Copies of this chain bind each other. A is one copy, B any other.
């Protein structure tokens, strides 16, 4: 019943009694072939379960209809692959690509070949690259800048290459401002401030603090990787050392916020009463945590679509600009001190 062997254009051509050219044209919808012929060929192709061989087509057309997505992982930190935010973004990219008829090749800097920057494009495995997360270091990306390699990045948009990203500074500002409005006066920032995106959030935080200099603020910038575990550990440490003196915390991501809150709870420090905590990302879990998490929402769906459309435009030879997407403060329980 099953065909063991896969059909080729040539097989179909023999069966239908027309040339390969005609089969090719019929199947690709060229108007150089009559409807009658096309119908006949299409029927035969369907019947024999024929599919075009992508390798051959790619070779001939010099393109693959495939985009490689690669997730940058800071070397030390092996958890950030599982950051729900990034994965949500990848999901959105996958869908946007799928709807345009593109396949997605996914890898992380850990699983990819050494020379991933060039690998996918040079080998013609993909037509372009989407790079997620600039990490703390521009070096790996600089290989690509001023080359003609088609790529776009997610992250900070204040770069020399095309990027899509959230308005991190505004987000950081809104989050901090909100804490101040809630009456917090000793506000700490938890996150790697030298990481491009986080740095922008930190700048927003800084700005909010400065605009309210009347109040005595604490600007403590702690170096915390992207995981709940890291947030937990740092907070725990501070508490144990009796140096936890905040009444408000801006966490660089929801996962970090969750870790911090857990540490606080374990020490019977109440959130939001004793300490108000605001996260960043609005991962789906944020509303399901207890207390539900006030956070700055990044729109992953829009972000994914944007990345894809920018890249495809680029593949199409168009000139493309970076784009900053709006962020939005979502107020939930973790900062409601008033009532």
Name A residues whose Cβ lies closer than 8 Å to a Cβ of B: 2, 4, 6, 49, 51-56, 58-59, 64, 66, 79, 81-82, 84, 87-88, 91, 94-95, 97-99, 103-108, 110-113, 118-120, 122-125, 146-148, 227-229, 232, 258-259, 261-262, 265-266, 284-285, 287-290, 292
Contacts and interface: CB of A to CB of B under 8 A. Distances in A.
25 contacts: A4-B148, A6-B122, A6-B124, A49-B118, A51-B118, A51-B119, A53-B59, A54-B124, A55-B64, A82-B84, A82-B88, A82-B284, A87-B87, A95-B108, A95-B110, A98-B110, A98-B111, A103-B120, A104-B106, A105-B105, A105-B106, A227-B284, A258-B285, A262-B288, A289-B289
A261 B285 contact: no
A75 B186 CA distance: 48
A301 to B, nearest CB: 11
Contacts of A110: 95, 98
Q: Taking the full assembly, how many copies of this chain does it contain?
A: 2
Contacts of A146: 2
A2 to B, nearest CB: 5
Contacts of A124: 6, 53-55
Given A94-B111, A98-B110, 11 more contacts: A51-B119, A53-B124, A55-B56, A58-B58, A59-B59, A95-B110, A99-B111, A228-B288, A258-B285, A262-B288, A265-B290
B147 A2 contact: yes
A107 B94 contact: yes
A246 to B, nearest CB: 19
A32 B20 CA distance: 38
A42 to B, nearest CB: 15
